[in-house]
Structure 1
Amino acid sequence: MPELRASALVDAPVAAVAGALLETSLITGFGVKVPGALLCLGDVLTGPFGVKLTVTRADLSGVSAAGEFLELHTDLVVTGAGTMVVDRVSWATVGGVVGRFADVTVGRGMALRVLEKRSALLAERCRELSEARVVVGAAIVRGGRLLAQQRAYPESHAGQWELPGGRVEPEEKPEEALVRECVEELGVPVEVGAQVGPDVPLKKDMVLRIFAAELVGGEPEALEHNAVRWLTADELPSTDWLPADRVLVPALQQLLI
């Protein structure tokens, strides 16, 4: 299969770049139809001429989508000067003069123009997300299970599940906010660990940032939600998550392995 490669250095943390790549608004401008605002593992994308691609990766390492005739891969590499974004596009071709002409004019020419335009959009979005307000969430694991809580409000999301957490207040560090939120929502203290997965865009100027966390003591209670529940790795994909939390399912499953 012919392959086209392109790369660009983005002056932003890898978590912000990976989060920006999740936003489907970066590709809908190129005639791609998507199921939602954020890319999730297993989503089916429909491009021009009815080409269908299935999302096979969407995490801190980048995103990938593959179909019968086309594959798209974006890999992220952390460097001392920022995050290197490496795009790879490969496609099936037909033989003969017509096939070679299509590879050069339609394949390489069109793909390169699309990648260049998307690269500029990505860089701008990453700058916005690097300065965005932060909502924190806790990935609390105990005995190979992840703690989730069920929303009671608003009505549009009542009954769906999310990780404990909330907004970071002014002059508050994300880790401090997460400790406070776990006490307010669950009635338990936690010890905050490393970040899990990318920064997930919630709004133009707001991102969700998840941290691994460990219970220090006590038993979590649903003080502000309908219920709390401990989930196994196998239960995570079928749980009715809020859209932003669903994006993180692959990263959360890794915590339970």
Structure 2
Amino acid sequence: MPELRATTLVDAPLHTVAAALLDARLLTTSIRGLGVRITSAEPLLRVGAELAGSVGPVNGRLVVTRADVTGVSAELVGGPLPRFTLVTDLLHTGGGTMVVDSVEWGSPGGPFGRLADVLVGRGLALRVLQARADAVARRSVELVGARVVVGAAVVRDGAVLAQQRAYPPDAAGRWELPGGGVEPEERDVDAVARECAEELGVVVAVGDRIGPDVPLRADLLLRVYTARLVEGEPEAREHLALAWVPPEELDSLDWLPADRVLLPALHDLLEPRE
């Protein structure tokens, strides 16, 4: 089974590179002009998201199977190839973040299919991997200086606190984690505590960072921390409603796109693995 791998060292923190990988536009635009076309109906890659793809006249669908701080993976569903996977792994090093891109595919058509792999498939795959790696490196460097919005994963009795947006109109009725913008010279953890006090009327103890940073706009990132209630009972001061969401209900809630990316991290938080 043919497999190709490309490695790039990016001068940016691992969480920032992970954020760059989540930008669906990065994947869809970086390979234009190479005879490969990938489109996404969603702005962010998340587990379960589907991408429509084509190589010349051959069409198929890629389903995202991983999208977290360790990287991104996608597998082909349907199409003429018996197997096709696209994997990006991230590794922290002393000199930056190592980005390891690999693509693996099955060869239809016996010896003629294998010949096509050598003459066409491998060369095209290498160009795609290089274009993607270059785009990831550029976007990661851009995001290093991005402004930050923090979110709080407030957990109690095995459930996480979610709040339902009241505005703007395109977000009204959907759910998100509590949080807000980090002020100049303010630390992330202090912003989490302040936002919980302002939005919910509670005092929290801020814990560890979870999940990847999520790109909201070209110069804005969402960064989420765990939090524990210390004082007060949460109130919906600026939102339509609050809800304590157990793990079995996480996937059914109508989350905003950025918060939906974080569902695997929330599942891990509420259902710790042994």
Taking the aligned partners of 2:97 and 2:248, their CA distance within structure 1 comes to: 32
The runs of at least 4 consecutive aligned structure 1 residues that moved more than 6 Å come to: none
Q: 1:230 aligns with which of 215, 226, 244?
A: 244
Match of 1:62 in 2: 71
Aligned residues: 257
Question: Alpha-carbon deviation of 1:88?
Answer: 1.4
Taking the aligned partners of 2:223 and 2:138, their CA distance within structure 1 comes to: 20
Taking the aligned partners of 1:23 and 1:109, their CA distance within structure 2 comes to: 25
**Residue type at the aligned position of 1:51:** G
Match of 1:47 in 2: 53
Taking the aligned partners of 2:83 and 2:50, their CA distance within structure 1 comes to: 14
Taking the aligned partners of 1:54 and 1:106, their CA distance within structure 2 comes to: 24
Residues 83-98 of structure 1 aligned to structure 2 (within 5 Å): 83-98=97-112
What SS does structure 2 have at the residue aligned with 1:33?
A: strand
Instruction: Report if the CA contact (8 A) 2:102-2:129 is conserved.
Output: no
Match of 1:21 in 2: 21
1:161 aligns with 2:175: yes
Q: 1:34 aligns with which of 29, 33, 40?
A: 40
Instruction: Report if the CA contact (8 A) 2:101-2:133 is conserved.
Output: no
**Residue type at the aligned position of 2:173:** G
Gaps (5+ residues) in structure 2?
Answer: 32-36, 77-81
Residues 86-235 of structure 1 aligned to structure 2 (within 5 Å): 86-235=100-249
Given the two structures, how large is their TM-score scaled by the length of structure 1? 0.97
Question: Alpha-carbon deviation of 1:185?
Answer: 0.2
Taking the aligned partners of 1:51 and 1:212, their CA distance within structure 2 comes to: 38
**Residue type at the aligned position of 2:48:** G
Root-mean-square deviation (CA, aligned residues, Å) is 1.1
Match of 2:96 in 1: 82
CA distances 1:109-131 after superposition (whole Å, capped 9, x unpaired): 00100111111111110011111
Taking the aligned partners of 1:102 and 1:52, their CA distance within structure 2 comes to: 21
Taking the aligned partners of 1:171 and 1:98, their CA distance within structure 2 comes to: 62
Taking the aligned partners of 2:185 and 2:221, their CA distance within structure 1 comes to: 17
CA distances 1:21-76 after superposition (whole Å, capped 9, x unpaired): 01111121231011211011111111112121111111111111112531111111
Question: Alpha-carbon deviation of 1:97?
Answer: 4.2
Taking the aligned partners of 2:169 and 2:110, their CA distance within structure 1 comes to: 59
**Residue type at the aligned position of 2:127:** R
Taking the aligned partners of 2:247 and 2:129, their CA distance within structure 1 comes to: 35
What SS does structure 2 have at the residue aligned with 1:172?
A: coil
Sequence identity, in percent? 58
Q: Which moved more, 1:72-81 or 1:159-168?
A: 72-81
Taking the aligned partners of 1:92 and 1:163, their CA distance within structure 2 comes to: 41
Taking the aligned partners of 1:86 and 1:11, their CA distance within structure 2 comes to: 14
